[in-house]
Amino acid sequence: MNNICEHGVSIYSCIRCGRCDQAPKLTGGSSSYYTVAVERPTSGGEPYMAECNDIIEALNMEYDVANVFKAAWRIAALRQGKGKLGQDSPVYDAEKIVFFGNRIIARSR
């Protein structure tokens, strides 16, 4: 997705000023940045779409572990140009990884 609107500015800026109808909206539902195409599965087989929450549930992750996983996923998605709406830096998610990582350490001691 191109993040520059017809006005030549970031669609995230247009969301803030309300000038651009093509900007995506946050809905609270599933988001495309939580899905990824697996083109060449390690164990072979057909390509498929993986979804972050499916992996969290399949591995029965604890709340803190799931938050670390989701934050790392969003950092990777941002690097590929598919980040969370309004996010232009990995810092927020990196801080979440540290916060929840410390909770994992405290729980494990």
DSSP string, 59-99: TT--HHHHHHHHHHHHHHHHHTT-PPTT---SHHHHHHHHH
One domain, residues 56 and 76: yes
Q: How many domains does the chain have?
A: 2
HSE-CB of 52 using CA atoms within 13 angstroms: 19
Selection from 50, 89, 45 nearest residue 69 by Cα: 50
Read off the tokens for 30.
């599933």
Quote the pTM value.
Answer: 0.71
One domain, residues 45 and 85: yes
One domain, residues 55 and 96: yes
Q: How does pLDDT run across 2-14, given as a tens digit for each residue?
A: 566 665 655 555 4
Q: Is 25 exposed, middle or buried (0-12, 13-18, 19+ CB in 10 A)?
A: exposed
Domain that holds residue 87: 31-108
One domain, residues 26 and 37: no
Q: How does pLDDT run across 39-79, given as a tens digit for each residue?
A: 999 999 999 999 999 999 999 999 999 999 999 999 998 88
- Which residue shows structure tokens 């390509």? 47
One domain, residues 80 and 94: yes
